[in-house]
Structure 1
């Protein structure tokens, strides 16, 4: 019997690639959680610890902190956009779609996008811009539908929603608050109640877009 070395090596190579992909996904997920908790100056060692890999493995996949932040941002934008698109299609009620999206965006740790506001982050990179536009368009579609139905106040835009989401889903800095997630849904519900039309107050300033947020450095 002749052993086909090429055939034998192929499954092993595929397993190694699959393991590397899973490691990378674990590191991105760990970084997402760490960024939300610590901010853009998150400790890389903590990411490796949470992902269950060595520091060398982390550095082999990501050349520096900026590259890791970039990958986290791309992942969060894609997952957040998908959540918005699914809610828009699957929820018959306009405000229910918005509410579902808000809670699911919190689950996706949308607060991890905050480092995108840093001047060190290359927001003009085509793949980043594409991800941002997809996310913005999906969220805008949900908000437009709710506003057209008369259920959502008309003096807000995507940027207003994203500011609230990122702020309400991040622990207070320096608190080390264990179990902070138990407060998030409660506070998000209070926020959603304030979004319902008719509005009970007049907001100062103008509705914020994502471009407005990116100008705040």
Structure 2
């Protein structure tokens, strides 16, 4: 008598939710890995091509079959909602992790901002506008990422590590701006360059008379010669 082996994407019977981990029943490790790969790939594809991007491209980038994607997310709307919830859940986790990992409030704020940049916040969320509401997301996440981020900012203010006129929007909107890719796709190290520019910006938030920044800038240093070469390649003109 043959034994039927569950599909690699099947979760334990209790698994029936695409909500945050705190509300999700136990899921088999392989099913959880498939789900994470699909959400990560969907985040990138939606950021590049919008919410109507081909689902088979998402499955290809995730390294799973299209049938596996449909088992996890039967409708496109299910996947869009799950991506939005996943991003906001990760933002909350990143803020709490930064607070716990860094004793210095400014280091904690820097850690959070770099983590948020990796989540492609400025590309993913605008792409999903009109497909999922903020109330839907916050109801599923159960925590608003704005609250722990505002607490991080408040701690930095209290410690005198950030200029007094810097407010919440100066933190979040800069992350959104920097997480949008440069137009034309001509910068091969676009993401690394965004992290470099974020460090420059964060150091610029220091108060007048504060300690000089000692952060070593990461990412590519785009000098004038390299900029001209990239410009020439993008515009089809001479780069010298």
Give me the TM-score of the superposition, normalised by structure 1: 0.73
Which of 133, 144, 148 does residue 158 from structure 2 map onto?
Answer: 148
2:110 corresponds to: 99
Once the two structures are TM-superposed, the CA of residue 65 in structure 1 deviates from its matched residue by 3.3
Once the two structures are TM-superposed, the CA of residue 141 in structure 1 deviates from its matched residue by 0.9
User: Gaps (5+ residues) in structure 2?
Assistant: 12-27, 210-240
More relative contact order, 1 or 2 (CA 8 Å, 6+ apart): 1
1:207 corresponds to: none
| Alpha-carbon separation, structure 1, partners of 2:62 and 2:182 | 23
1:70 corresponds to: 81
Of 135-144 and 107-116, the range deviating more from structure 2: 107-116
1:120 corresponds to: 131
Once the two structures are TM-superposed, the CA of residue 152 in structure 1 deviates from its matched residue by 1.8
Compared CA separation, residues 55 and 117, structure 1 to 2 (3 A): closer
Q: Which runs of structure 2 are paired with 1:5-20 in the superposition (5 Å)?
A: 12-13=5-6, 16-17=10-11, 18=28, 19-20=30-31
Q: Which runs of structure 2 are paired with 1:114-193 in the superposition (5 Å)?
A: 114-115=125-126, 118-125=129-136, 128-129=138-139, 131=141, 133-175=143-185, 177-193=187-203
Pick the structure with more helix per residue. Answer: 1
Q: Secondary structure at the match of 1:154?
A: coil
| Alpha-carbon separation, structure 2, partners of 1:62 and 1:167 | 30
Contact 2:50 2:127 in 1 (8 A): no
1:30 corresponds to: 41
| Alpha-carbon separation, structure 2, partners of 1:117 and 1:57 | 23
Contact 1:76 1:112 in 2 (8 A): no
Which of 73, 81, 90 does residue 92 from structure 2 map onto?
Answer: 81
| Alpha-carbon separation, structure 1, partners of 2:140 and 2:148 | 12
Query: How many residue pairs are counted as aligned between the two chains?
Result: 191
Once the two structures are TM-superposed, the CA of residue 103 in structure 1 deviates from its matched residue by 1.4
Compared CA separation, residues 25 and 90, structure 1 to 2 (3 A): closer
Give the RMSD, CA atoms, in angstroms.
Answer: 3.0
